Structure 1
Amino acid sequence: MSQAGLDLPEATVARLPEYLRALHHLADTGHDTVSSEGLANAAGVNSAKLRKDLSHLGSYGTRGVGYDIGPLIGQIEYVLGLTMRRAVALVGVGNLGHALAGYAGFTSRGFRIAALFDADTTRVGEKINGLAVLHVSDIPVVVKRESISIAVLATPASAAQTVADQLISAGVTSILNFAPCVLSVPDRVDVRKVDLAIELQILSFHEHRKSAHVNGLNGEVRK
């Protein structure tokens, strides 16, 4: 696939991992092909959107047959850069970081936790999933040695910017940020923010709206 084939709309990129998850499940359950409707249902999108997304990859399926699952998995993994099993650094091994470090799903999704860091000297040397925790002062040497370009931040908010600066200076160009703060980074660095409290607040809004709708209906009935 050419470099031009990697120039995809952000919304399409955001949906590709869902398609990949669904395709792997279908392959694991013995399927060789899948219709656009079947894949769309498995991924939780409408079939027209799925067909448009996959057309950006040059994959149009076969009328009456659908998509060949194996080749489509290969296409999506290539576009997402998962064919090289990327090395990842994780900084902050508190409760959340410890859980992330032990998550087996990273390996099956194309990633390898290559280094664990923490600023707490009492945690240095602790082994998590067979990997020893290193001090954050080792970031420059280890990031270069392990060719790490992606890092996961699970530090307190107060430390996140300082650690992000250290990672970027060492050569990291993509950060998944679990710290409840906004990072200031150069344009060349991509940041994805995961804030569980924000996601719960959004769900709270939907619950509030549903409650208001039900109360409104009850009011109409009483009239």
Structure 2
Amino acid sequence: MQLKSDHIPRATIQRLAVYVQVLESLLQAGQDVISSEGLAQACGVNSSQIRKDLAYFGEFGVRGVGYRVADLLASIKKSLGIDRTWNVALVGVGNLGRALLRHGIFRRRGFILVGAFDCDPFKIGEEIAGLEVVCSRRLKEKVAELGIEIGIITTPPERAQRAANYLVEAGVKGIVNFAPARIEVPDTVAVEYVDFVHHLFSVAFSITLGEAKAQP
């Protein structure tokens, strides 16, 4: 897949992740080819949106036939950088951190949790999902030793910036922040925020809007 533009909308990247999930399911079901209309319906978008999203990376599909599922899946995974494994560190071994460490989805998707870190002396040395919890101050040492490129922050909000600082100083290239706090990092470090409350706001708004439209 050849990248045709450096300016790809965030929404497109998010939809590509959905396309991957759908294509993987189709492949597992033994489907070799799918039309743009069929793929669009399975992904919950229209076919023109699929074609527009894929056009950022090149030309795909065969007129009158559709997309070859395996080829399209491989191309999208390569474009997203998920055609290889990534070593990941988690900082903040509270309830959420423990749940993520024990969740098998990351490994299945190629994101290998290889380090667990916390500054709480009562947690350091504990073993969770086969990983020993290490002091956050040792992040730089461990990032180099384990080849860690991505960090996940699951600390309380007041400790998120300190966790980010440790990760940046250690040389990680990207951070996924589950803590309900904004963090400051250099422009060279990619950051994604996962805030469950924002999703609840969105759902609440959709319900409220639907109820308002239903009012006579």
Task: Give the alignment's TM-score, normalised by structure 2.
Answer: 0.93
* Counterpart for residue 164 of structure 2: 164
* Per-residue deviation, 1:8: 5.1
* Counterpart for residue 78 of structure 2: 78
What is the letter of the counterpart of residue 22 of structure 1?
Answer: V
> Which structure 2 residue ranges, 5 or more long, are not aligned?
none
* Per-residue deviation, 1:59: 3.5
What is the letter of the counterpart of residue 114 of structure 1?
Answer: V
C-alpha spacing 1:102/1:161, structure 2 compared with 1 (3 Å): same
Q: Distance in 2 between matches of 1:100 and 1:201?
A: 23
* Per-residue deviation, 1:90: 0.8
What is the letter of the counterpart of residue 169 of structure 1?
Answer: E
Contact 1:89–1:150 (8 Å) recurs in 2: yes
RMSD: 1.5
Q: Distance in 2 between matches of 1:59 and 1:96?
A: 41
**Partner of 1:167: helix, strand, or coil?**
helix
Q: Distance in 2 between matches of 1:179 and 1:79?
A: 28
* Per-residue deviation, 1:5: 4.2
* Per-residue deviation, 1:130: 1.5
* Counterpart for residue 29 of structure 1: 29
- Deviation larger for 96-105 or 118-127: 118-127
* Counterpart for residue 133 of structure 2: 133
Q: Distance in 2 between matches of 1:211 and 1:12?
A: 30
What are the equivalent positions in structure 2 for 1:58-207 lying under 5 Å apart?
58-207=58-207
* Per-residue deviation, 1:68: 0.8
What is the letter of the counterpart of residue 31 of structure 1?
Answer: Q
Q: Distance in 1 between matches of 2:163 and 2:169?
A: 10
Q: Distance in 2 between matches of 1:107 and 1:128?
A: 15
**Partner of 2:208: helix, strand, or coil?**
helix
* Counterpart for residue 221 of structure 1: none
Q: Distance in 1 between matches of 2:127 and 2:35?
A: 45
Contact 2:60–2:72 (8 Å) recurs in 1: no
Identity %: 41
Structure ID, larger Rg = 1
**Partner of 1:140: helix, strand, or coil?**
helix
**Partner of 2:182: helix, strand, or coil?**
coil
1:40-81 per-residue CA deviation (whole Å, 9 max, x = no partner) reads 122221111001111222242012221111111111111111
**Partner of 1:134: helix, strand, or coil?**
strand
Q: Distance in 1 between matches of 2:4 and 2:109?
A: 21
* Counterpart for residue 210 of structure 2: 210
* Per-residue deviation, 1:127: 2.1
**Partner of 1:180: helix, strand, or coil?**
coil
C-alpha spacing 1:172/1:85, structure 2 compared with 1 (3 Å): same
C-alpha spacing 1:8/1:42, structure 2 compared with 1 (3 Å): farther
Aligned residues, how many? Answer: 215
* Per-residue deviation, 1:212: 2.3
> Which structure 1 residue ranges, 5 or more long, are not aligned?
218-223
Q: Distance in 2 between matches of 1:151 and 1:131?
A: 15
Q: Distance in 2 between matches of 1:111 and 1:59?
A: 29
Q: Distance in 2 between matches of 1:102 and 1:134?
A: 17
What is the letter of the counterpart of residue 15 of structure 1?
Answer: R
